[in-house]
Structures are given as structure tokens and as C-alpha cells.
Amino acid sequence: MQWRIRLLLLTVVIGFSGQAQTQTDTSFWQDWRRWGRDTKQIRKARKKNPKEVGALTASSPWLARTLAQSVEGEATVPHEPRKILEIGCGPGNVTECIIAKMHPDDRLDAVECTKVLYDQACVRIEALRSAAQGQGFPDVRLHCSAFPDFDSGVEQYDDIISTLPFVSLPNEVVITILPAIFARLKPGGTFTYMTFLGANWGTKVWKTITLNFDELKEYNQKMDVFNEWLESAFELERKPIVWLNFTPSWVCAFRKKD
């Protein structure tokens, strides 16, 4: 129960300090209820797969919408169909926001390795598809597999959005995923991910207290590789903070260098 009380307090304090007023499409309380439902699903899955799922809560609707802005930012007139990849779609909460920003000619592949979350995402996307009654609904395909081991038939994407928990994933997984993201992204394409505010130093302090020397060294190496990779292959486009999330997070949107 304790996490729910903390989450409620955080939401109320930050919500009333301004962000809630930026909502246009759904009400603040609808978003709050949706976040609660997604978090329940994420927490259940996390009990079985703590490292893969990583987060204690689902991304909040406010965070999900900010992540999805990378797709909106790419609109051109006339529209050029875009190919979008979402990695770690969980129960489909961010997927839903990406779809809301998509053009009917665009295509989205969403990959999720935890079967129970993949099933929930399928139900959610099917509900959206039937609500649209086939009108203007983009080509959305869900894949139950672990990135990068999935075959969508698309060689390179225009946008990749990830909510993978890079901080908690093992080194060998992160080191495999990074070059795969690079390879699957077109030159000039966008790579967007989220990271908790202070995740680097906060996790470092936590790991310094709880881990032995070798584990800490391994963690530091992983984060160094991650940051060096970003700096060498990408340019930062935007890095807004989303306060209304547990915990508040940065959305980091990068563009692959040509």
C-alpha cells in the first residue's frame, strides 16, 4: 500500500503545481486511473522479471505523451509515410500515445518480451482499432520477442522509442542492444528514451551502498559505454523533464548523425 500513498501524494502535489492544466484530450483523473491500471500490470510482471521490467510503475500518461512527441515532430507536408519502432511496449500505454500521433500511412512495430504484458498490449490495441472502425488507423504490429531478436521485415526505422530500463538491464544485454538500435535506425532518424531524474547518480549511490566492488565496477562500465555511444553517434534534440511520473523523468530525444 505504501507505494500507492507515495504515488498519490506526488501526483497531487505536482499535478496542482501546473502540469495538470496542460491536458487537453483527457481529464487529469482519467489519466490518473489509467496510470494506476497500467502500474498494476507492470508490478505483477515485475515480480517475475525484475531486471527486464525494471520500473516500479508504468510510465505515466504525461510521460507517455512526451515520449510520443518524437513522432509528431516528424510531420511533413505532403506526408511521407514513416516507420516507427517501439522497444519494450509493456501493456501498450506508450504505444497508445504513439498511435494517436501517427498518420494512417505510417507503420508501427512494437516489441515486448514479457508475454503477459504483450497480451495486454494486444487487447488494448485491438480495442483502439475497433473503436476506429478501420478509419484512418495506421499499420500497427505487435511482436512478442526480445529486441534485437525479432524480424519485422523492416530494415531501418525513422523513429525508435524505447522505455527499456537500461539502468537495470545486465551489461551484456545493453551492449547488444545499443548497436542493434543504431543499425535499425535510418541516418537522421530519432532515438527517444526515458531516464529517471538522477538515475545515474542515484543508482550509483544506491549501488555503492548495496553492491560489492565488482558489481559497482560493472555498472559504471555499462553507463560509460551507454553515454559514449550516445555522444559519438547521436545529437541531442530535446530533453524535457516530466515531473508527473514516478519518479520524475527526462525524455531524451536524439537524432542519429548522417
Ligand X SMILES: C[S@@+](CC[C@H](N)C(=O)[O-])C[C@H]1O[C@@H](n2cnc3c(N)ncnc32)[C@H](O)[C@@H]1O
Residues binding ligand X (CB under 6 A): 42, 52-55, 58-59, 87-90, 93-94, 111-114, 117, 146-147, 163-165
- Find, among 94, 138, 140, the residue nearest to 117 by Cα: 94
Q: Is 133 exposed, middle or buried (0-12, 13-18, 19+ CB in 10 A)?
A: exposed
Of residues 89 and 102, the one with the C-beta less far from ligand X: 89
Extended beta strands in the chain, E state: 83-87, 107-112, 139-144, 157-162, 185-196, 234-238, 241-242, 249-256
- Find, among 119, 130, 66, the residue nearest to 92 by Cα: 119
Of residues 52 and 106, the one with the C-beta less far from ligand X: 52
Considering the complex, what minimum distance in angstroms separates the CB of residue 76 from ligand X? Answer: 27
Considering the complex, what minimum distance in angstroms separates the CB of residue 6 from ligand X? Answer: 18
Residue carrying the nine cell digits 505515466: 60
Considering the complex, what minimum distance in angstroms separates the CB of residue 181 from ligand X? Answer: 11
Of residues 41 and 190, the one with the C-beta less far from ligand X: 41
* C-alpha distance across the termini of the chain, in Å: 49
Considering the complex, what minimum distance in angstroms separates the CB of residue 144 from ligand X? Answer: 9
Residue carrying the nine cell digits 522479471: 49
Of residues 20 and 113, the one with the C-beta less far from ligand X: 113
Considering the complex, what minimum distance in angstroms separates the CB of residue 150 from ligand X? Answer: 8
Of residues 20 and 164, the one with the C-beta less far from ligand X: 164
